Chains A and B, each alone.
Chain A
Amino acid sequence: AQSVTQPDIHITVSEGASLELRCNYSYGATPYLFWYVQSPGQGLQLLLKYFSGDTLVQGIKGFEAEFKRSQSSFNLRKPSVHWSDAAEYFCAVGNAGNNRKLIWGLGTSLAVNP
């Protein structure tokens, strides 16, 4: 079955600390992978995406993610967190085939301590 797992429901980090949010997927086809961020009261904004090529992808707001096929993972990282990064983060997987739906994780809520 196709699924996306974000093992951490909630994470708290101190401002300036590094961050890693985990995402594992189960998907039959070659995956397209996404990270979205949702600030309180806002819609979801695309942070970054992986389709093919270099397995380390850069996104907006200083985020990056690494695709590891052997581990079926696509973890999101940021070297130094800012208070404005406090938000909900969603991982999603899809493909370029006929199925245009994305499979979504349940999200990880990030809190940032000053």
Chain B
Amino acid sequence: DAGVIQSPRHEVTEMGQEVTLRCKPISGHDYLFWYRQTMMRGLELLIYFNNNVPIDDSGMPEDRFSAKMPNASFSTLKIQPSEPRDSAVYFCASRASLRAEQFFGPGTRLTVL
């Protein structure tokens, strides 16, 4: 079975540009999580969805960040405009409703110059 798929794996952009990160969860999983990982702050939960509906976005740092899940097999995390302090690795994870463990994608390493 395919795991969680994220694209792109690496993104380098300039400050002020829009960045869109993509995630395909494991088929049949109805929870999807977006995390950000930095050396300073560790692993931070940004937002999570249940059945395509955002449940908790309290971790989204500011209005420049937005996330959508238009269907059960696709989610995006958008940063507009991007800033150098957004440089981090962004992970997507999914889980099944009756399970507690999350399965992670390989991450997107974002560098904002």
Contacts and interface: CB of A to CB of B under 8 A. Distances in A.
A27 interface: no
**Interface range for A:** 20 to 34
Given A100-B31, A100-B48, A45 B100 contact: no
Interface residues of B, number: 21
Interface in B78-113: 91, 93, 95, 100-107
Interface in A89-105: 90, 94-96, 100-102, 104
B103 A46 contact: yes
A32 B100 contact: yes
Contacts, number: 44
Nearest to A94: B100
Interface of B: 4, 31, 33, 42-43, 45, 48, 50, 55-56, 91, 93, 95, 100-107
Contacts of B55: 100
A42 B106 contact: yes
Interface of A: 32, 34, 36, 42-46, 49, 51, 90, 94-96, 100-102, 104, 106-107
Nearest to B105: A43
A86 to B, nearest CB: 18
Contact of A46 (B33, B42, B91, B101): B101
A36 B100 CA distance: 13
Contacts of B104: 36, 43-45
